[in-house]
Amino acid sequence: MPFRAITELLGDRRLVVVSNRAPVDVHRGVERRFVPTVGGMVSALMPVFKAAGRGLWIAWSGESSQKSQERIPLPADDPSFMLRCVQLSERDVSGSYYGLSNRGLWPLAHYFVGRCQFRLEQWHSYRHVNELFARVVLEELRPKDLVWVQDFHLATLPGLLREARRNLPIGLFWHVPFPAWAVFGILPWRRPLLEGMLGSDVIGFHVQSYARNFLACVERFLGLPVDYERGTVTLKDRQVRVVAWPIGIDAEGFETLARAPDVQLRAARIRRQLGSQQMILGVDRLDYTKGILERLQGYERFLEQSPAFRRRVTFVQIAVPSRERVDEYRRMKREIDESVGRISGRFTSDGWVPVRYLYRSVPPLDLAAHYVAADLALVTPLRDGMNLVAKEYVASRVYDDGMLMLSEFAGAAEGLPEAVRVNPYNIDDVASQIRAALTMPREESSERMRRMRARVKREDIGWWLRGFLGEFPLPSGAGATRGDTDAATLRRAVADVANH
């Protein structure tokens, strides 16, 4: 990936990333072990730090502890940046992470209003955790640092930093959907959350509709001047830019994996073990927003209405365990288990099993093999900020075959119009679109996939990073150290690429 342009963009500035979770989980035993965490943000930023040869990542270590905060050189085999751990108590984690973040802001952002729980003590815990992060950031700051805050867990952090350092360059990227004002307004602490976000110089979202929703909330609940065309909020002493930059993936990396002989062999083995002509794939973290239950119901309806496909098609659903401490997630797992059992009981025959359900994390090689093996990927979340599985599957289709079925409520749908669109709430629509995707003429599916692959490769993770980092304000005199490439020039160049 072309990270040289990003390091040139940073110049002599140090990138300081602040996120709720660290890029590694710290496991303590006889020996301390660091297990990499999985996620688009981690895979995006690690190569940037490595290319720059410096940087700081500030995050919760994953442990509930009152121990002194520590610094860990990463990556362990060839350190190029430092991880500063923020230690949180069990009470902090329970109130802020499992409380307001997971039971309040997460369902609110995804329009699951009925699941929202808003408790004052959890809001106080959320504010306290953001204050703990602010203290650590301020302790670690150096001149010319650029601070990039990640996601909704730390939404009030930019405001706290702005109060302490008026001229500090601060960016915030909100990785989940930002809801319409009529939904966001339900939040009892809507004003302080918005005010905290506006401590940033630039606020990023995946798609334009989320950015417009944020601007509408600022206009309605804070009464501040908003320019929808320019994407700005005017404060007393400055302006905040609000931008849409859809996150990409390491498309080149997925393509390389897909072409690897070992992955090709694994894919062939998966197909042989299924013993069916066609394979459908779903890959999700176990979460009610992903629409796994609705997807299973749609597949069941497809088998009911299309008996000719029985014994010809197998649906493989990979569900990665998530938030196992939360009761509603445990209930959802039971419901999925029951649905898989019901479908298998109804349709299994002559050694053919209609559904293979894998409830576990899948190593990268095995995931790539599943992408290569599948004729159709079902990416049907009920609501999703982006969904990188859709892009990963497309990048892995190196022969321009296969097809992607994509929920119209996923952020990825705005950038992949060639995918088969579906309303995941409409079970009959899911069933009919599965049939349409599996029977699509090869010429049509190949052309659609070719266009999607070209876009995913063009708008990759490097494109996203260059674009968003280019939105940061330049410190005075920085232009002389960065040649002719300033933020405005970069924005125009990236926009030109996007328009073509």
The verdict on 192 and 173 lying in the same domain is yes
Residues 6+ apart with CB under 8 A from 446: 400, 401
370 is catalytic: no
Catalytic residue among 250, 284, 384, 460: 384
Number of domains within the chain: 2
Cis omega (within 30 of 0) for bond into 75:
yes
Instruction: Look up 384 and say whether it is catalytic.
Output: yes
289 shares a domain with 192: no
486 or 88: which carries more pLDDT confidence?
A: 88
**Catalytic choice (175, 284, 287, 460):** 175
| pLDDT classification of 348: cutoffs 50, 70, 90 | very high
β-pair type (202-205, 226-227): unpaired
Residues 464 and 452 in one domain: no
Q: Does residue 32 sit in the same domain as residue 44? A: yes
All residues at 6 or more sequence positions from 232 whose CB lies less than 8 Å from its CB, including other chains: 226, 239, 240, 241, 242
Q: Does the structure show a pLDDT above 90 at 284?
A: yes
Percent of the chain with pLDDT over 70: 89
Q: Could you tell me if 59 and 85 are in contact, meaning their C-beta atoms sit under 8 angstroms apart?
A: yes
Q: Counting beta carbons within 10 angstroms of the beta carbon of residue 260, is it exposed (0 to 12), middle (13 to 18) or buried (19 or more)?
A: middle
What average pLDDT does range 215-232 have in this prediction? Answer: 98
Local structure of residue 442 (DSSP, 8 states):
H
Domain that holds residue 152: 4-248+460-499
* One domain for residues 25 and 99: yes
Q: What is the arithmetic mean of pLDDT over 243-266? A: 96
Is residue 488 situated within a structural domain? yes
Same domain, 178 and 264: no
Tokens for 398, please give them.
Answer: 């190196």
Per-residue pLDDT of 93-146, as tens digits, reads 999 999 999 999 999 999 999 999 999 999 999 999 999 999 999 999 999 999
Q: Do residue 433 and residue 472 come from a single domain?
A: no
Sheet holding 232-234: strands in order across?
71-74, 81-88, 56-64, 15-21, 146-150, 170-173, 202-205, 239-244, 232-234, 226-227
Q: What is the CATH number of the domain that holds 286?
A: 3.40.50.2000
Residues 204, 298, single domain; the answer is no
Q: Identity (one letter) of the amino acid at 244?
A: A
Query: Per the domain annotation, does 253 fall within a domain?
Result: no
